Amino acid sequence: MAANQELKEFLVLIFDKPNANRVGSIEQHIAALPAVAGNPMTCGGAVLNKKGDFVGSTLTLRAHDEEEVISFLKKDIFAKEVWDMSSCVIHEVMIAYREGRDI
């Protein structure tokens, strides 16, 4: 990766393992996010089913490439305890509108 390579934006959708229990990992998950050097995440949160149950997560990140996104995700406690990493879908996106910014 070239040092001057421009950052791209990525959308991530990742589902939880069956019967995953977020409660045991949530404090460590939230506490660790700001501590990650160069945290590329611009937003993130839970994906809910129609009953309001947690079923996964969605995130947007700024990174040089998909490998950098995967590396960031793997550092998260949720990658070990909650997420089904085989369900992870990552797409580069071009944001046309962002709240608080002109189009």
CATH number assigned to the domain comprising residue 23: 3.30.70.1060
Asked if residue 24 belongs to a domain, the reply is yes
φ, ψ dihedrals at 44, nearest 5°: -170, 160
d(C-alpha 64, C-alpha 72), whole Å? 12
More confident residue, 52 or 96: 52
Asked if residue 50 belongs to a domain, the reply is yes
- Kindly state the DSSP code that residue 36 receives in the 8-state scheme: S
Query: Each residue of 33-89: pLDDT tens digit?
Result: 766 556 788 889 999 999 999 999 999 999 999 999 999 999 999 999 999 999 999
Range of the domain at 75: 8-93
Q: Roughly how many angstroms between the first and final C-alpha of the chain, as a whole number?
A: 30
Asked if residue 56 belongs to a domain, the reply is yes
Asked if residue 100 belongs to a domain, the reply is no
Asked if residue 1 belongs to a domain, the reply is no
Domain count, the chain: 1
Asked if residue 30 belongs to a domain, the reply is yes
Q: Please give the model's pTM, rounded to 2 decimal places.
A: 0.84
